[in-house]
Amino acid sequence: MLLKLISAPWPWYVAGPIIGLTVPLLLLLGNRAFGISSSLRHICAACFPARLPFFTYEWKKEIWNLFFAAGIVIGGFIASHLLADPSPVQISPKLENALGEFGISDHNALLPSQLFNWPALLTIRGFILIIVGGFLVGFGTRYAGGCTSGHSIFGLSTLQWPSLVATCCFMAGGFIMSNLVLPFILSLS
């Protein structure tokens, strides 16, 4: 019973409030801000002690964040290896047809193998999707002063104006990317 409960996807009206209630819980129990992108900074400050001002701070005070990030990694591993649903990923037939036009037939996988594999990395399309995309995500996170979870979940719930602006920009960028830029990149071979 419990295994079936935790292995099936939860509806948005259950999962959303649980995620949303994490913010006040962190604030009430320890005056902590929810966000994940700062974990990489803490890891760098702990593992590579340099005299750079960005990494010179009391990272040990934020060690809870590293445990939180480790829990996400461990939870993801458990979910993907022990609780994985063997049925294919459900996507809209319209998206399935659109992906087929770009030669992506492995549309039932979470990450289509035609796009995300080592040989694909050596193509212009793979380089743009994996390397350039990864750089832009990292740069954007640093430039915006946080990631989507930090701004959209924590920042909005604490009524921070910069988080509203960042979240609107994240959404606009996602719409532009998925509807205008991604089809162009997928057309490259």
pTM: 0.71
pLDDT at residue 171, as a whole number: 92
Q: Looking at residue 159, what DSSP letter applies?
A: T
pLDDT at residue 157, as a whole number: 82
pLDDT tens track for 132-154: 988 998 888 888 888 887 888 88
What are the residue ranges spanned by the domains of the chain? 1-84, 115-189
pLDDT tens track for 22-80: 888 888 888 887 778 888 888 888 887 777 887 788 888 888 888 988 998 999 898 88
DSSP three-state, residue 56 = coil
Residue 189 — pLDDT band, cuts 50, 70, 90?
A: low
First to last CA, the chain: 47
pLDDT at residue 107, as a whole number: 65
Alpha helices in the chain (DSSP H): 2-7, 12-30, 38-47, 63-81, 93-101, 118-121, 124-126, 133-144, 148-149, 156-157, 161-176, 182-187
pLDDT at residue 108, as a whole number: 64
pLDDT tens track for 166-180: 999 989 999 999 889
